[in-house]
Amino acid sequence: MRIKDVKILWGRAANRCAFPDCKIELTTNGEKDTLGEMAHIVAKSPGGPRDCPDILPESKDSYDNHILVCPTHHKVIDSAPKTWKVEKLKQMKEDHEKWVTTQLVKENFKISSFDNTMFLNSRKKEWLDFAKHNIWVISSITPLNISEDVIDPLKTDILKMFNSPKLPEDIQYNTNFNTYLTRPNENGVINENLHGISNGYGYRIQLFRNGHYEFLINIEFAMGEIKIDDIRSHRIPEELVGTKIIDYPSIVRCFSSHIQSFSNIWKTGLPFNDMVLTTVITNTFSICLNSCHRRSLSGLLLGSKVSSKTLEYNTVISKVSDINPLCEQIVKRFVNYFGLVIDTVFDERGHILFPRHLNSG
């Protein structure tokens, strides 16, 4: 769901449950009973409450297809979809928003807006400064509203999960996570290994007291460069000699590690129903994506050169999001950024599938 749509939904609902005669004020963090839930009117997943296969997936993640309710009434409407049909929920939402407008005119209450824009912008600037000239794959999850000391990152169960991420294979010289590098800092808790930066290795993971969590992986080691021999053997334009290329599987493994880590830490100790997912690849100007794995026998299949210095994708995700569909959503977007397309990222056995050119069939 787009960040803009989330803000519209909460704002027009005045941060209150839309269920008739409830109107309880909701929050983005805190007690479970008052955590706002952005319920789907038409089910997002096949077979879910009020499923409608004819509606496009992107339409299901829009403002129009959500209604803000409390946890109690989310269960009520989803447990009885034949009673709480699509049109009934749409009418409920419309009536609630009209009620909000009336209350605002009468000045019966004020809307407490939430925002994380300033915080996220500061993190992005810090990432770019930190990356320098290296190519890093970065992902983070951020609360919809930034508050101080929402969690204790040194709490035993949270710290245990913080110390258990899987580092991607073929990208880091050592995929074992060194828990001895974990330490508290001014933000919360951090683990970073930058000893191999000069050789293209390195990572940094950080959990903030406000609930923000970020995972950075240096992929310079996985980078390649187009050589004269590639021009001759793969019919690649001569002007591409010297162009840096990213191996596609490296990106998939990075994002897979990120999403798995996010899921684990979120379930363990982050008191939010929804968070902003931010994904970034730094220093991408004039680089290409190689669809194949390294210099495979099938040769190079290159995307187009990227004209942006940084590639970025943002969306709002919920705690119950499935890991694989979310990873596919991210990977597909970045594959498109590099001028390629892909229908499915993983096959039935979990093996990585590869992108292609749009008109290659």
Express each pLDDT in 282-318 by its tens digit.
Answer: 999 999 998 875 444 346 788 889 999 999 999 999 8
Residue 230 covered by a domain: yes
Question: Do residues 218 and 330 share a domain?
Answer: yes
The pTM for the full model equals 0.83
Question: Do residues 89 and 169 share a domain?
Answer: no
Residue 331 covered by a domain: yes
Residue 351 covered by a domain: no
pLDDT in tens, 148-170: 889 999 999 999 999 999 888 76
Question: Do residues 159 and 43 share a domain?
Answer: no
* Confidence band of 240 (pLDDT split at 50, 70, 90): confident
Q: What is the C-alpha radius of gyration for the chain, rounded to an integer number of angstroms?
A: 23
- Domain extent, residue 294, equals 117-337
Residue 13 covered by a domain: yes
Residue 52 covered by a domain: yes
Number of structural domains in the chain: 2
pLDDT in tens, 34-54: 788 999 999 888 888 888 877
